[in-house]
Amino acid sequence: MATEKEKRNAHVQQQRPSSQKERYAEFANRGLTKRNEEYMVKFSAALADTNYPAEQRAELIQTMLQEILAAQKRGTTAKNLYGTVTEKLKVTLNPPKEPAGPMTKKRYLTDATYNFLWFLILFNFMYGAIAFMAPASTNRAGAAGITCIVISSIVAGLGMPFVTQLSAPDVQHKHHWLVRAGMMAVMFLVWMLVFYGSNLLPRIINPVVNPIVNIVIGVIGVVAILYMRSRFKITSGIFAGRR
């Protein structure tokens, strides 16, 4: 007597020819050569076994058909165009990151503003938390005032896009990595000087604010960051994963 597992396997085997036949029918009479038709059938079957969104599948298949038909006129096969079915499937499921391209003025200003907000958030949350946990620390001369926080955040924001570019793996660098490392070290040193120098300003223009003010500024910064990420493509800086 057949087990439940054997029954399930038999059912799958009965379904496969029908599914395969439907896939061949999908690409029949599309103008494809026999070899390219076989490629698309195999790719479609492999894609169906993944979690690739169904609504995007039809669009992808249509795009591939147009590209293959155009390539056929040049004597190029689907395999020549995309590589093996396995290779094409891998690229489809894990598309490579889009290169950032050259640093334009508009992109620099966007990324610099984004990074300024991140440093403003980090500093305000950090000093706000420290003040809540150790109130006495706010009375010390070394506590960072709000003017120091803002100025150092601006400088860090302006420099971070350059730091990211100097270390980016998908950018064709003009300088050896040792030179780039030295440049990043200099920029960090400049930021440190700005931070400590601005904190020496008189407290009348560089006050240590109430920690609640720090937290409020941090929250406003988070809202601004979320807005920027929804409206702009951020490519350089803190948590700036390309989208």
Length of the chain: 243
Helices (H), 1-84: 4-27, 34-48, 54-72, 78-82
Contact 197, 152 (CB under 8 A): no
What pLDDT shows up at residue 138? 56
pTM of the model: 0.55
- Span 196-219, pLDDT tens digits: 888 888 989 998 888 899 999 999
Least confident of 16-20, 29-33, 178-182: 16-20
Helices (H), 96-210: 105-133, 146-167, 177-198
